[in-house]
Amino acid sequence: MINKVLVLLVTMCLFACNTNNKQYDTYASEHLKIEKISENLFKHISYLDTESYGKFPCNGIIYFNQNDVIVFDTPTNDKASAELINWIGEKNLKTVISTHFHVDCLGGLNEFHSNGFISYANELTIELAKANNKIVPQNGFDQELKIKIGDETVLTKYFGQGHTKDNVIGYIASEKALFGGCLIKELKAGKGNLEDANVTAWPITVSKIKRELKELELIVPGHGKTGGTELLDYTIDLFSEKQ
């Protein structure tokens, strides 16, 4: 009898553990792609319809730890965001960070708010979002923000101007991973949209990241392919050139 009870308890425990630790896989639709980077880290890709570049892919990341999740940058619109949120499923702590005020970072923020995500952004991002009639993140921070996701502390930090005045990065130490957003370029990329950029400060800002985050191995740029620290070097060199 005791053995049967023990088996039942173990079975129930395993079921509960599996329920709380959903096994995630890749995803693809017309509006959204999700690529697996590691067991707990994924890249989401949505699209902007642009005059200059056509249907332009935009990156963000999703990080899971225990029953918590953090998303850096929303998909570009509510439809793609709804698909992403459905893919994520139910979590205890749901956080979304917008890395700057452009639509490729917060275009789907309303959908996240409607689904119980708590949003954060640099105080300057909030100011610029309001000034440009964009969706406004709920909570602001100055310089850096640390959020506990499961048993890992995820860092969001402002290193200086570059693609925009307000751009920040996300860093997950356990993954040795950086989400650089539009501050970091994929290899062979051009300079892109410079409408709100500070091209003089840009290489200085990225050099600060390289000096401070010495354990980096994986970097996800705002657009294009994931890489390593060569993306930092490429971005520094690209904007160190004479304009």
Is 115 noted as a catalytic residue in this protein? no
Residue 40: partners with Cβ closer than 8 Å, 6 or more residues away: 63, 64, 65, 175
Catalytic residue among 193, 198, 210, 233: 193
Catalytic residue among 68, 104, 166, 196: 104
What would the two tokens of residue 163 be?
């693609």
| 3-class DSSP state of 240 | helix
| 3-class DSSP state of 90 | coil
Is 100 noted as a catalytic residue in this protein? yes
Catalytic residue among 163, 166, 167, 196: 163
Catalytic residue among 40, 68, 182, 196: 182
User: Measured between alpha carbons, how far is 110 from 82 in angstroms, rounded to an integer?
Assistant: 10
CB atoms within 10 A of CB 73: 29
Is 104 noted as a catalytic residue in this protein? yes
Is 102 noted as a catalytic residue in this protein? yes
Q: Which residue, 222, 239, 128, 215, is CA-closest to 179? A: 222
User: Measured between alpha carbons, how far is 19 from 142 in angstroms, rounded to an integer?
Assistant: 37
Is 163 noted as a catalytic residue in this protein? yes
Catalytic residue among 102, 134, 157, 165: 102
- 102-137 residues labelled b (16+ CB within 10 A) or e (exposed): bbbbbbbbebbbebebbbbbbebbbbbbeeeebbbb
Catalytic residue among 33, 166, 185, 196: 185
Is 193 noted as a catalytic residue in this protein? yes
What would the two tokens of residue 124 be?
């300057």
Catalytic residue among 44, 100, 134, 165: 100
Catalytic residue IDs:
100, 102, 104, 163, 182, 185, 193, 223
